Amino acid sequence: MINVMNTRFNPSEFPKPTMIPVNGIELEVFEAGNQNAGKPIVLCHGFPENAFSWRHQVPALVKAGYHVIVPNQRGYGHSSCPTDVTDYDIEHLTGDLVALLDHYGYEKATFIGHDWGANVVWRLAQLHPKRVNKIINLALPYQERGEKPWIEFMEEIFGGDFYFVHFNRQPGVADAVLNENTSQFLRNIFRKNLPSIPPEPGMLMINLAKAEKPLGEPIMSDSELANFVSAFEASGFTGSINWYRNLDRNWHLLAEVDPIIQHPTLMIYGERDMIPKFDRLPEFVPNVEVISLDCGHCIQQELPEETNQAILNWLGQY
C-alpha cells in the first residue's frame, strides 16, 4: 500500500493555470499532455477541494496518452464566483464543462468526477449525453431523483443540522465560520483513519471548522494543504456552498430528463467512506463496473497509486 505522505509530491510541479472564458464566466484551468490532443479527459473536483486534488492522477494520465484538462469549477480558486445563488445550478455547472469542450474543439471527452464533481458528471451525462464518452466517478454514486426535492427529503430524515440542510436553511452562517477558520477547517477535514465515534451534535462542517484538535491522520503534506488553504482564502466558501443551495432547484430541472445513463462507467467507492454505496446503481447506469478501495472519502488523495491503477486498467479495456 502506498502512503500519500511518502510520495513527496512537489506542489510546484502541478501545471500552471490558464483563465479560459466559458459560458459567460472564466474558469481557472490546469492543462497537461496537450501533445496527446484527441484523447481528452476532464477531471472534476469536489468540496472542499479544487483542481489540485487530482495532482497524483495528472502525470499518470498524461503518461498513458491523455490530454488532461482540470478546471477549478465556478466558485473555486480564481475561477469566477457569481453572486446569484441560481448561477450555481446544474444547468450552469454542466454548461461550463460543455463550453470547456467547445473551447478545446472536442465533441466529447471522458469525465472523471469526485464527490460533488461526480454529481456534476452524472448530470452532464443526462443533460448532454453526446458530449460524454466514458465516466469514472469516485465516492458519490448516482443520486436517484425521488418523489420529494432532495433538501426537503434530507431535512425529514436527518434534521436541520445536517450540513446539506443547514447550508440551505441558514444561508451565510456556515460560510462565515468556514471563512474565519479556513486553515483549521481544511486541516481537520482532510483526514484518514478516523476513529469510530458518534458524531457530535450540531452541524458537521461548523464543528470541523471550530475543532482545535484534528482526528485521525493527515492525507497530505503541509505544503500540499497550503495549496487548498490559499485557494479558499482567495475565493471564500460561499460560491462552493452555493452548489448545495441548488439541490432542490436541480431536482426540478431534472424532472423531464431521462434518468438512465448508458455510457460505459466505472464507479470507485472508498470502503471507509461515510457515503453509502447505491445497491441499485445498475438500474440507472446499466453499463457500470464497480470497485472498492480500502480508504475513506478522499479516494484519489488517500490511495493515489491504487486509484491510478484502477482508472488506467479500466480505460485500457476500451
User: What positions carry a catalytic annotation?
Assistant: 115, 297
Sign of CA dihedral 211, 217, 223, 225: negative
Containing H/E element for 256? none
Place of cell 450540531: 202
Phi, psi of 113 (to 5 degrees): -130, 150
How many whole angstroms separate alpha carbon 166 and alpha carbon 205? Answer: 10
How many whole angstroms separate alpha carbon 315 and alpha carbon 111? Answer: 12
Point out which residues pair with 41 in neighbouring strands.
Answer: 68, 110
Q: What is the largest CA-CA distance in the chain?
A: 51
Q: What type of residue is 253?
A: L
Given a contact cutoff of 8 angstroms between Cβ atoms, the answer to whether 312 and 298 are in contact is no
Q: Cell digits for 112?
A: 472523471
How many whole angstroms separate alpha carbon 111 and alpha carbon 126? Answer: 13
Given a contact cutoff of 8 angstroms between Cβ atoms, the answer to whether 167 and 241 are in contact is yes
Given a contact cutoff of 8 angstroms between Cβ atoms, the answer to whether 14 and 230 are in contact is no
